[in-house]
Amino acid sequence: MRFLKTKFTYLLNLSIVISTFVIYFYPFSEVLALDSLDGHNFISDAVKNVVPAVVRIDTERLVERQQFDPTLLDPLLRDLLGEPGMTPDRERGQGSGVIIDKKGLVLTNAHVVERVDNVSVTLADGTNREGQVLGTDSITDLALVRIDNKEDSNYAPLGDSEELEVGDWAIALGTPYGLEKTVTLGIVSSLHRDINSLGFSDKRLDLIQTDAAINPGNSGGPLINSNGQVIGINTLVRSGPGAGLGFAIPINLAKNVSDQLLENGEVIHPYLGVQLISLNPKIAKEHNEDPNALVQLPERSGALIQSVIPNSPAEKAGLRRGDLVIATENTPIEEPKTLLDEVEKAQIGKIFLLNVVRDNKEITVNIKPEALPGLT
């Protein structure tokens, strides 16, 4: 009897240990299962799914340069020989891209292929193809290139960037420094990172932040998830303080932009023509308590108009410096970014309602957004 009791106790303790082990290590099951039966892991499987569609992009353009620095020329010789002339020179660039359909459409960054004369695309098998730039959008830093391909192209499956969560695996592919088929691994460090906070005031982007290494030459290459689906387009890396931070454009935005570039060759962005700063009750109260303050600000949150661009939709609608935008027709405005997001969704030439605080009174302003000028 004692033997049976001892054996029962032993089996009970063993089952508790096994259960504890399973419960503790289950969250790490994906990591523990990195090695499959063939000795490889989910990273290599994901990469195999996409790497045939990753391309290297080489560009060339003709620029004019001075023959030499005129400041290095002796003044007497300068009087004798005159100012140095301009000579044509070839400027070369390099980046990455990813094929997104069987017809040979390549998604990349606008800064890789903007204002170039020639585009050469090197496929994963080493074949070179001439590339035709179908369109670029500097606001989102995206571009669409078509390659001359007689056969159906290998293309990468596209994921859903709205499904991403912080902590998800992130794998960057590209040709940094010309090193083709380079793969780096990290995680999604943050989502909806405003590019304006990184010092790019001329862009409209919420970026995916990752610690997967992204280097010069990675621009335009894909960021993929553990299932081998493209979730973003690598666009920039933070250098200097904060080095090691990489950023990618969400693939859902990239798909939308590429569709417009394919259809129209450009992307139309609505604009109002105002410069905005963020206002909240704390900032407004501190300002109002300053005896040197020239105006009193409403002590509430919103997007404060700092200036109005002449002849812009905002000026035509009667918006003024000092107006506080607190809502659109359907959305409360707590900060400028929210207003910019709503403007991006607006239709050109159709009335866009703004609720504004002016002289401590709420008013409604009807404004018609226009196409952002100066992009071409």
Annotated active-site residue 192? The verdict is no
Distance (Å, rounded) from C-alpha 301 to C-alpha 325?
Answer: 9
Concatenated DSSP letters of 270-293? EE--EEEEEE-HHHHHHHHT-TT-
Catalytic residue among 137, 141, 189, 269: 141
Residue 200 sits at φ, ψ, to 5 deg, of -110, 85
The conformation of residue 376, written as its DSSP 8-state character, comes to -
**Helix, strand or coil for residue 96?**
strand
Catalytic residue among 219, 258, 301, 312: 219
Annotated active-site residue 219? The verdict is yes
Assign residue 225 a region (left: φ > 0; alpha: ψ between -120 and 50; beta: otherwise). Answer: beta
The first and second tokens of residue 116, run together, are 């170039």
The conformation of residue 228, written as its DSSP 8-state character, comes to S
**Helix, strand or coil for residue 309?**
coil
Closest CA to 244 of 276, 202, 211: 211
According to DSSP, the residues that pair with 65 across neighbouring strands are 87
Concatenated DSSP letters of 167-223? T-EEEEEE-GGG-TTEEEEEEEEEEEEEGGGGT-TT---EEEEE-S---TT-TT-EE
Instruction: State the amino acid at position 107 in one-letter form.
Output: L
- The 3 state secondary structure assigned to 39-75 is CCCHHHHHHHHHHHHEEEEEEEEEEEEECCCHHHCCH
**Helix, strand or coil for residue 104?**
coil
Closest CA to 158 of 223, 235, 234, 204: 223
Annotated active-site residue 258? The verdict is no
The first and second tokens of residue 43, run together, are 């990273």
> What is the set of active-site residues?
111, 141, 219
